[in-house]
Amino acid sequence: MTTPVSSSGFFISFEGGDGAGKSTQIELLAEALRQTGREVVITREPGGSPGGEAIRKLLLEGDANKWSPISEALLMYAARADHLERTIEPALKRGAVVITDRFADSTMAYQGLAGDLGEKAVTTLYQLVVAARGPDLTIILDLPVEEGLKRSGATGDAEQRFESKGAAYQEKVRQAFLEIARREPERCAVVSAKDGIADVAGRIREVIQTRFPQLLSR
């Protein structure tokens, strides 16, 4: 939390269910940060590096039950290790702000707390791969499940494997993100994603203004 913003980069993750508005809000925040003259790198998980993107395809397409819980988590973490090494760490070293669309909290929520793997295994993988290299700030966009499914259903892409797991699972995922935020209130901020795009963007800006005001000043 003591990262000096100007000299060593800053790492932000966005989390939340599908359709919560992560991609939309990341673009808006990146634009606001670029206006201060900062380099901003937008990236995503699973993916974010050539190896990570190859693994993304294995994870997000196909049948809902195509991977066992442990295989799924190991693939997520294989992608994450590559993403950290090849994309995130080099950018932070240059002094950039890195904004990632999903990170380790998604594995804890989807596979650990809401899925069948359990949190102990996910914590072990986290400690092995991420440890002290995690985000400085995590924005959790919170939205009722039906709203999110309505919004993301409108995009009609091929990457529907997790959406296809059903509403009860998605509700567990939503609660899991809220639980993660309760456990780590210093790193995480829950932002309601229910209102219009500009309102949500304003709330995210307020979180940053309050916690890391130096990020939004020149």
**Cis peptide leading into residue 135 (ω within 30°):** no
Q: Binding residues for ligand ADP, how many (CB under 6 A)?
A: 16
User: Among 10, 12, 22, 107, which residue interacts with ligand ADP (rule: CB under 6 A)?
Assistant: 22
| 184 phi and psi angles, rounded to 5 deg | -130, 65
Stretch of 21-29, 80-88, 115-123, 170-178 contacting ligand ADP, by CB under 6 A? 21-29
User: Among 152, 162, 177, 204, which residue interacts with ligand ADP (rule: CB under 6 A)?
Assistant: 152
In the complex, what is the shortest distance from the CB of residue 44 to ligand ADP, in angstroms, rounded to a whole number? 9
User: Among 19, 47, 112, 135, which residue interacts with ligand ADP (rule: CB under 6 A)?
Assistant: 19
Q: Choose from ligand ADP, Mg ion, none: what does 200 bind? Cβ within 5-8 Å by kind.
A: ligand ADP
Which DSSP string corresponds to 10-57? EEEEEE-STTSSHHHHHHHHHHHHHTTT--EEEEESS-SSHHHHHHHH
Report the SS3 class of residue 185. Answer: coil
23 contributes a contact to ligand ADP by CB under 6 A: yes
What is the side-by-side strand order in the sheet with 10-15? 40-44, 97-101, 10-15, 137-142, 188-192
Please say which residue, 125 or 200, places its beta carbon nearer to ligand ADP.
Answer: 200
Please say which residue, 50 or 153, places its beta carbon nearer to ligand ADP.
Answer: 153
If residue 100 lies in a helix (H) or strand (E), which one and from where to where? strand 97-101
